[in-house]
C-alpha cells in the first residue's frame, strides 16, 4: 500500500511541477512525502527551471574526451546546450570533463534507461526471477523490481551516483548545471574504449 501511495504521489507531483520521475521521487523522499514541501524542494534545487527548459532545442555543445591508464582507456562524450556562448564557458567544459571521467570510471551501457533494449531488460528479469525461485509470487515480484532498478542505476549514466559525490546522481548533477547556466543541458551520447576489449556496444546509438 505504501508503494502504491508513493507512486500516486510521484504522479501527482509530476503533474503539478513537470519534473522528472527520479527528481520527484527524490523530492518526496527528502520531504517525507509532503507534496507542497516537495514542490518547494524541487524549486530550490533548480529542477523546475530545468524542467521548463526540457522542450528547448539544445543544438550547441561540445564533444569532450578523457584518456586514462597510460592511454589504455579513453572516452568520447557529447554534451549539448542551447548556445555556443555557454558551450565555451568554464562551467560547461568542466561538466563535460566530469561526465567523461564518470564514463571512464563506471563503464555505463547507455545514457538513459529508455535506450536499453527491451530484450535485455526481459533477460535480466528472468535471471532475477530464477534467483528468487521458491519465494511467494508477491515477494518475487518485489525482488525482481528492486533488482531491475539497481540494474538501471548501474548501467544508465544519468541514474548512476556521481563518483565525486555519491549522494547525488548524474542526472541531478546535470540538472544543477542547467539551472546554473540558465540553459537546457543534455547528455547526447558517449563511447568508451578500453585497449584489448570491445567498445561499449550500446552507447553510440544513444539519442540518435
Q: For position 54, what pLDDT does the model report?
A: 58
CATH number at residue 162: 3.30.479.20
Q: How many CA atoms lie within 13 Å of 89's alpha carbon, on the beta-carbon side?
A: 18
Same domain, yes or no: 73 and 172: yes
Same domain, yes or no: 149 and 160: no
Same domain, yes or no: 89 and 166: yes
**Kind and range of the H or E element at 200?**
none
Same domain, yes or no: 7 and 48: yes
Is the pLDDT score of 190 beyond 70?
Answer: yes
pTM beyond 0.85, yes or no? no
Which grid coordinates are listed for 22? 527520479
Strand order across the 60-68 sheet: 60-68, 73-81, 186-194
Q: For position 138, what pLDDT does the model report?
A: 81
pLDDT digits (tens, 9 = 90+) for 44-75: 776 655 655 555 656 789 999 999 878 899 99
Q: For position 57, what pLDDT does the model report?
A: 57
CA-wise closest residue to 9 among 171, 17, 55: 17
Same domain, yes or no: 12 and 95: no
Same domain, yes or no: 87 and 187: yes
Last residue of a domain, one of 33, 52, 71: 52
- Mean pLDDT confidence for 157-175: 94
Same domain, yes or no: 34 and 99: no
CB 111 within 8 A of CB 206: yes
Same domain, yes or no: 100 and 189: yes
CB 181 within 8 A of CB 81: yes
Same domain, yes or no: 196 and 128: no
Same domain, yes or no: 160 and 106: yes
Q: How many domains does the chain have?
A: 3
Same domain, yes or no: 83 and 164: yes
What domain range includes position 124? 117-153
Q: Calculate the average pLDDT of the chain.
A: 84
Which grid coordinates are listed for 167? 549522494
Q: Give dist(CA 31, CA 26) in Å, integer.
A: 9
CATH number at residue 17: 1.10.8.10
- Could you please report the per-residue DSSP string of 17-85? H---HHHHHHHHHHTTT-HHHHHHHHHHTTHHHHHHTTTS---EEEEEEEEETTTTEEEEEEEEES-HH
Same domain, yes or no: 131 and 166: no
pLDDT digits (tens, 9 = 90+) for 88-124: 999 999 999 999 999 999 999 999 999 999 999 999 9
Amino acid at each position: 500500500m505504501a508503494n502504491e501511495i508513493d507512486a500516486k504521489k510521484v504522479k501527482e507531483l509530476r503533474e503539478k511541477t513537470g519534473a522528472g520521475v527520479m527528481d520527484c521521487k527524490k523530492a518526496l523522499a527528502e520531504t517525507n512525502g509532503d507534496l507542497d514541501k516537495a514542490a518547494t524542494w524541487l524549486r530550490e534545487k533548480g529542477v523546475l527551471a530545468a524542467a521548463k527548459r526540457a522542450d528547448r532545442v539544445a543544438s550547441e555543445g561540445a564533444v569532450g574526451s578523457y584518456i586514462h591508464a597510460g592511454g589504455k582507456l579513453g572516452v568520447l562524450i557529447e554534451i549539448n546546450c542551447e548556445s555556443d556562448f555557454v558551450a565555451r564557458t568554464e562551467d560547461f567544459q568542466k561538466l563535460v570533463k566530469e561526465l567523461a571521467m564518470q564514463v571512464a570510471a563506471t563503464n555505463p551501457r547507455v545514457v538513459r534507461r529508455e535506450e536499453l533494449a527491451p530484450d535485455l531488460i526481459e533477460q535480466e528479469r528472468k535471471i532475477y526471477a530464477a534467483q528468487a525461485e521458491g519465494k511467494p509470487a508477491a515477494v518475487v515480484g518485489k525482488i525482481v523490481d528492486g533488482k531491475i532498478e539497481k540494474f538501471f542505476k548501474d548501467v544508465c549514466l544519468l541514474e548512476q551516483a556521481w563518483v565525486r559525490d555519491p549522494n547525488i546522481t548524474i542526472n541531478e548533477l546535470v540538472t544543477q548545471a542547467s539551472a546554473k547556466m540558465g540553459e537546457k543541458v543534455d547528455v547526447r551520447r558517449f563511447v568508451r574504449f578500453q585497449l584489448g576489449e570491445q567498445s561499449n556496444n550500446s552507447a553510440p546509438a544513444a539519442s540518435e
